[in-house]
Amino acid sequence: MGCSAFSKKNMKTKILLPFTIVSFLFIFFILYVGLNRSNIYIPETVTNEKIPTFKVKVFNSEKELTSKEIFENDIYYLLNIWASWCIPCRDEHPYLMELKKNKKLEIVGLNYKDKVKNANNFLNELNNPYTLILSDTDGTIAIEWGAYGVPETFLIYNGKIIKKIIGPMNNNLFKEIERAVK
C-alpha cells in the first residue's frame, strides 16, 4: 500500500464526510419540522372562487333549479350542507337560527344523503333556518362544491365563495360570518 491509497482516503474523508454530515443534518431538520405539522389533509379554501354551476332538485319536490337561479339576488347567501343523521349539525344549528335573523343573509340548505321524513323531523325538532332547501340524495352536488363531509358551510356573495367552513360552526366562526356580512 503506497502513498496514493492513503491520500485517496484522506480526500474521501475531506469531501465525503462533511457532505454526508450536512445531508443528514438537513434530513434531521426537515423531519424535526415535519413532526409538528399535521399529517391530516384538509383541502385548501381558495377565496373568491366562483361558485360551481349545477342543477339540483328542491327538497321534497320534483322541481329543479339551476345554481344561477338559486343565488340570483344581490345579498349574501350561506350554503349549509347538513343531514338529519349528522350529529355536529345539531351542535351548529343554534348558530344558523341566529344567522337567520340577519336581514342581509339568506341561508340555503343542502340536505345531504338523507330521507325526507328524517330531515323533516330534524327541522321540526330544531326549527328551520333555511329560506330554501335543496336535495342532494346521492351526494354528487356536494362534490361540485368540493365538500367531502357534513357539515360544511359556504358564504357566498355575487356568485363567489367568500368563506368556507369545514365542520360545525362555533362561536368564533359565527362572529366572523356576522362581521363579513356587515
Residue ranges in contact with another protein by CB under 8 A: 1, 5, 8-9, 13, 16-17, 20-21, 24, 28, 30-37, 39-41, 43-44, 85, 113-115, 118, 138-140, 142-146, 148-149
Shortest distance, position 164 Cβ to another protein, whole Å:
12
Closest approach, Cβ 104 to another protein, in A, equals 28
Nearer to another protein, 13 or 60 (CB): 13
User: Alpha carbon 106 to chain centroid distance?
Assistant: 20
Q: CB-wise, 50 or 104, nearer to another protein?
A: 50
Taking residue 105's Cβ as centre, other Cβ atoms within 10 Å add up to: 19
CB closer to another protein out of 85 and 174? 85
- In angstroms, what is the minimal distance from the CB of 99 to another protein? 26
Residue position matching grid coordinates 337567520: 100
Instruction: Indicate the length of the chain as a whole number.
Output: 182
Strands (E), 12-169: 49-50, 55-58, 64-66, 76-82, 105-112, 132-136, 152-157, 160-166
For another protein, give the closer residue by CB, 70 or 86.
86
CB–CB of 103/28 below 8 Å?
Answer: no
Contact 171, 106 (CB under 8 A): no
For residues 25 and 175, which CB has a smaller minimum distance to another protein in the complex?
A: 25
φ/ψ (deg, to 5) at 63: -70, 140
Report cis status (omega within 30 of 0) of the bond before 151: yes
Decide whether 144 or 176 has the Cβ nearer to another protein: 144
Shortest distance, position 182 Cβ to another protein, whole Å: 30
As measured in angstroms, the least distance from the Cβ of 98 to another protein is 28
The CA distance from 111 to 93, in Å, is 14
Minimum CB distance to another protein, residue 117 (Å): 11
